[in-house]
Chains A and B, each alone.
Chain A
Amino acid sequence: MKKKTPLPATKAAKPAAGRPTPLQTPAGAGVPPPGKRERGLTAVEMGARQREISVSEFFTKNRHLLGFDSPRKALLTCVKEAVDNAFDACEEAGILPEVVVKVEVVPVDGVTPSAAQATRFKVTVVDYGPGIVREHIPRIFAKLLYGSKFHRLRMSRGQQGIGISAAGMYGQLTTGKPVQIISRTGEKNPAHYFEVQINTKTNEPRIIEKKQIEWENHRGTQVTIELEGRYQKGRASIDEYLEQAAIANPHTQITYVTPEGETKVYQRTINELPPPPREIKPHPYGIELGLLLKMLHDTKSHWLSGFLCADFSRVSPKVAEEICTAAGLNPHAKPRNIMGPDAEKLYKAIQSTKIMAPPTNCISPIGEKAILTGLYKQIKADFYTAVTRPPAVYRGNPFIIEAGLAFGKGPQEASAVQRIGPVAEGEHKEDDTELARVLRFANRVPLLYQQSACATFQAVLETSWRNYGVSQSRGALPAGPMVIFVHMASVWVPFTSESKEAIADYDEIRKEIKLAMQEAGRRLGVFLKRKERAKHEFHRRNIFELYIEEVAEACKRLKGGRFAVERLKTQLMKIAMKRTGGEKVDELLGKKAGPEGLPDSIIVTAEGVEGAVPELPPEGAPEPAGAAPAPAGVPAEVLEPAKAGMRAKPGKTKAKPAKKRRKGR
């Protein structure tokens, strides 16, 4: 990576009389005489200043590109990178991920400030994954652009191999402290302790300390980074990130010790790993000319046709021949010899040849059931639904869009709102102008920043929610107590920047998201309409009951004296029942309002829960084999009450038998 360094502006110039002799500028002649032009530098001078810039140096200066622009964001990014890596490693090794995240306040000058005031933090992330072999540890944590994920097309959270080392570099830059790593690959192997720093000049790790230690965990990795940051709750906080991560990854277990010392546990709700994604070769439609040239140069194949078949997906010998013919190139030509105009011809030929869409079985979507489970567990609502779209392709990369929706405030909350007693003039019951919340995910990673730049957000805006009974102002999010979940799974998610905050706006992607939104919205519409109808009928009868009381009493007062008020009430009630179709209302209000005709949906009412209700594992379920019994550093008795406090749902809801589900499932 070469780059011109900018010319320093204060270079002295020679007096005009003197001959231009480079490198002889007298010291002291700092400022050119007024009115005289500054003499430029010679090519030699300039040449002498050219030098290589290492990635580390580049990102040191441009750390915002990696998500370290503000102290608050830096802290989040650090946690995020460590957690993403832990999840990826566990899944690849076929282990159910379990991580412990601990964010501690670092005392400054012997004083420990409160979490909100603190500027220095220590982030520790422990996983019980496969561990890392000793030789790779320094480079994984202290060399930028070192990793296993960049050179392959396979769905994973990380893509480039920058994340964790960048976090370490940021910590080193702001606190001077090295990254501490403990890793152990199995019970029989020793645990290794490393302290590493990154040499930003060379982008190479510098090992400060390494030793074998005793570690209570049989297997896994622990990374500790000390960094400058800010801890703030609310939007785009660590808390939100982990909560959303738990929604999109119900097969994981996350224990989070906040800087305030509180322990939160995001319980695992699905005890099986998602099917492992498979690695695929690039699809010919997805590459650019430059990449084609590089591939031509690097291939092991001897023939052009062989290269096309071997290095791309969906290119059969027949298709390869077709391409060669279209390009006017010999199929037996040496790939290395194809360059310049030939390569361009080849590139054009590829684009114009009809090639099958890339295989899509390489993507592992979260799945409707898991999304439902995640939403149901983390968000209180009256209605949940989830949609997984069939795979689609953008620029030769297969992808899957998934959407979820949670609507309402949950029965408890709703009834709490209703009981406030007499209402004074102007004190209205519903001033609900809250906008929907959009949870965005890419390969199961929550995206918290740059919402409005994201294709998902745009697609949500473009969906006409009014069609589904949800109000929406022009160019705004739909209004209401609603959480919208959008997930894009792909071998290569097109982010708008390296900090992976927003998905780039490709037509194909946006279209798919909209289709998913529409399906979820349609189901919501059905639910709302049903609820509305039942409520309407109920209200109809209810108001009559209430008003009859008033009217009868008014009649009594008007008439004065002896008046058969009870008889009048009974008579009026009879008329009311006749006119509002009694039984039918019960039916509408009762169990039959369930999710019939609503696939992959859950309906929660005050009476109970219906639909594709996930069976949450009972508390204290046996941990899957291989996982450590208790997360390190967290005493078991601390965890227990926290676990018990998780989403206090009536027990009967969990025990709902599966037969309640729709037949089609």
Chain B
Amino acid sequence: MARSSTSVEKKLIGLADLVVRAADRGRDPSIEIPVRSLSNVKFNEKRRIIEMGPNTQERTFFNVGMAKKFMQTMLVADALSELQRAGLTTSLREIYYRAKHTIGDSHENTFDNQNESDPLIEDLEVALAALREEFHVRAENAGTAIGPLTVVDDGDTVDCSKLGKGGYSVPSIVEPEYLRIKRCSADFVLLVEKGTQWNRLAEDKFWKKYNCVLLTGNGQPPRGVRRLARRLHDEKKIPVYVLVDNDPWGYYIYSVIKQGSINLAFESQRMAIPDAKFIGLSSLDPERYGLPRNVGIKLNDKDIDRAKELLNYPWFQKKEWQKEIRHMLSLGLKFELDALANKDFQFLTKKYLPKKLQDKDWLD
């Protein structure tokens, strides 16, 4: 831990050196930052993950449009290095408050709101090829795990099978330095989009019967959850199944888990689980499992546009996936996981998932 810390700190100090060097030579200081957008990501067919492209942008100081951002970037770097020295972790919002002050005797603030500081941290992540965790910046604990898994977190041994139906709150930093996986006897990991359905499964002790780890990220899973799933997959060699709503956003959540996200493409190699499987809800399921049309929700314009975008993503080009998405569009309906309750409260636990697992009915 001490070593990696120093390397990140060195990278941050490097920014100061960059300014000093430029000033010495009478040049405009400039930081090179890889572009974080769809235009600069590439789907690596071989590794099956989204990778960041080669495009970068210069952030220079003596440019009216960029001067403030440059100054802000330096302030954020300063705050991050302070964290390193103190050995603390913090949140994005605290970084914002730490770096905020009124400039000189003017009435201008260094930052007006958090939206200005958040992207700068991501900029620094990509520019310095460092991870957010390495910066000691954490997100909220938005994920939960339950199942035959024992971890050591901050010196405490936590048995995730003895935590009632509440489960273990997955911290945002789950790197080996912070969290050690002591034991895991599960056969697979089930990552559920919705907390409500995770609760259903936890209450029904689904994980006991089918010997799995249940994970949820309450929507788009945060880094901690993705990283934990990836580590379980890598270290314990167990498959990961993803259970999401049947709508374009659900598909995208699955794709983020599997290939990585566009915004954080540089993290894919560490987070993505290219072998993850899409277990449901498929657009074909309502017919197969006899869900009535009236528990569907009409796709709105936004849904339709999003679905069409997905159809164009390189990582959705497999025949089954095109069929899956087009079928949803042709139905004109989306289905929530919760809609399964229409059949029976425990339909998900007792019928749907057992059958899926038994038939190996999933998409890759």
Contact = CB atoms under 8 A, between A and B. Distances in A.
B107 A546 contact: no
A425 B112 contact: yes
Given A546-B104, A557-B81, 5 more contacts: A426-B113, A550-B110, A554-B77, A579-B28, A579-B62
A574 B26 contact: yes
Contacts of B81: 557-558
A543 B77 contact: no
Given A550-B75, A558-B13, A544 B23 contact: no
Contacts of B112: 425
Interface stretch (B14-22, B38-46, B138-146, B336-344): B14-22
A555 interface: yes
Nearest to A540: B64
B68 A543 contact: yes
Contacts of A549: 103-104
Interface in B280-333: none
Nearest to B99: A554
| Residue among B23, B24, B112, B113 facing the most chain A CB atoms (10 A cut-off) | B23
B86 to A, nearest CB: 13
B107 A418 contact: yes
A558 B62 contact: no
A524 B338 CA distance: 63
Contacts of A330: none
Interface of A: 418-423, 425-426, 429, 539-540, 542-544, 546-547, 549-551, 554-559, 568, 571-572, 574-576, 579
B102 A422 contact: yes
B71 A547 contact: yes
B243 interface: no
Given A423-B109, A558-B77, A568 B23 contact: yes
B237 to A, nearest CB: 43
Given A546-B106, A551-B19, A551-B74, A558 B26 contact: no
Interface in B58-98: 61-62, 64, 67-68, 70-71, 74-75, 77-78, 81-82
| Residue among A550, A557, A559 facing the most chain B CB atoms (10 A cut-off) | A550
Contacts of A421: 102, 107
Contacts, number: 91
Given A418-B107, A547-B67, A575 B62 contact: yes
Contacts of B109: 422-423
Interface in B96-124: 102-104, 106-110, 112-113
B78 A558 contact: yes
B262 interface: no
Pairs A-B, 4 closest by C-beta atoms: A571-B23, A558-B16, A555-B16, A554-B74
A559 B13 contact: yes
Nearest to B81: A558
B6 to A, nearest CB: 13
B64 A547 contact: no
Contact of A420 (B67, B75, B104, B107): B107
| Residue among A544, A551, A571, A579 facing the most chain B CB atoms (10 A cut-off) | A551
A568 B20 contact: yes
A261 B38 CA distance: 72
B257 interface: no
Contacts of A551: 19, 29, 61, 70-71, 74
Interface of B: 12-13, 15-17, 19-20, 23-24, 26-29, 61-62, 64, 67-68, 70-71, 74-75, 77-78, 81-82, 102-104, 106-110, 112-113
B13 A571 contact: no
B271 to A, nearest CB: 29
B110 A575 contact: no
Interface of A is mostly: helix
A555 B74 contact: yes
A547 B103 contact: yes
Nearest to B106: A546
Contact of B103 (A425, A550, A555): A550
A665 B307 CA distance: 69
Contacts of B20: 555, 559, 568
Nearest to A545: B104
| Residue among A426, A429, A555, A568 facing the most chain B CB atoms (10 A cut-off) | A555
A576 B16 CA distance: 18
Contacts of A419: 107
B67 A543 contact: yes
A568 B18 CA distance: 12
Nearest to B107: A423
Contacts of A559: 13, 16-17, 20
Contacts of A425: 112-113
27 contacts: A418-B107, A423-B109, A429-B107, A543-B67, A543-B68, A546-B103, A546-B106, A549-B103, A549-B104, A550-B71, A550-B110, A551-B61, A554-B16, A554-B75, A554-B77, A554-B78, A555-B16, A557-B78, A558-B12, A558-B16, A558-B77, A559-B17, A559-B20, A568-B19, A571-B23, A571-B26, A575-B62
A418 B108 CA distance: 10
Nearest to A576: B62
B260 to A, nearest CB: 31
Nearest to B100: A425
A575 B63 CA distance: 11
| Residue among A546, A549, A568, A576 facing the most chain B CB atoms (10 A cut-off) | A546
B356 to A, nearest CB: 48
A423 B100 CA distance: 11
A268 B268 CA distance: 78
Contacts of A546: 103-104, 106, 108
A543 B112 CA distance: 16
Nearest to A571: B23
A550 B107 contact: no
A575 B17 CA distance: 17
A556 B13 CA distance: 10
Contacts of A554: 16, 71, 74-75, 77-78
Contacts of A555: 15-16, 19-20, 74
Contacts of A539: 64
Contacts of B29: 551
B23 A575 contact: yes
Contacts of B19: 551, 555, 568
Contacts of B26: 571, 574-575
Nearest to A553: B78
A554 B73 CA distance: 10
Contacts of A422: 102, 107, 109
| Residue among B26, B68, B78 facing the most chain A CB atoms (10 A cut-off) | B78
Contacts of A571: 23-24, 26
Contacts of A550: 71, 74-75, 103, 110
